[in-house]
Amino acid sequence: MLDKIIMKILWIMPKEWAHKYLYKKKMHKKLDLKNPKDFNEKIHYLEIYKYGPKETICTDKYLVRNYIAKIGYSNILTKLYGVYKSFEEIDFSKLPEKFVLKTNHSCKDVFVCLDKNKFD
């Protein structure tokens, strides 16, 4: 409950403050935006000062598909079988024998199914 309240507060705070808070919480050190040295500091710097609406769309696995199609490259997109809000919504009978599930909110949650009959 408290985490949800904090996240709502962070959305209305200036970007710099929110990033500094989240960085400190996750990395246990101060975020140096004046002289970013490591990869994480540089990413935060770009998110605060350089990135705009297009970059936001391009970091979203689902939204970027519309952008790719709009600029004429829909032929490079893989087939999308569905978009679900929860695991329970997935109708596995409509998926092929081999498929990949990806979450949109994370870069590490990728589930590769090579045989649907053995997928747990």
**What pTM was estimated for this model as a whole?**
0.55
60, 53 contact by CB (below 8 A): no
Q: Where are the alpha helices (DSSP H) in the chain?
A: 2-12, 15-27, 39-49, 53-58, 63-70
Per-residue pLDDT, 59: 78
Q: What tens digit of pLDDT does each residue of 45-58 get?
A: 988 898 888 887 88
Q: What tens digit of pLDDT does each residue of 89-107 get?
A: 999 999 999 999 988 877 7
Angstrom distance (rounded) from CA 112 to CA 98:
8
Provide the residue ranges of all domains of the chain, joining segments of one domain with +. 2-51, 74-118
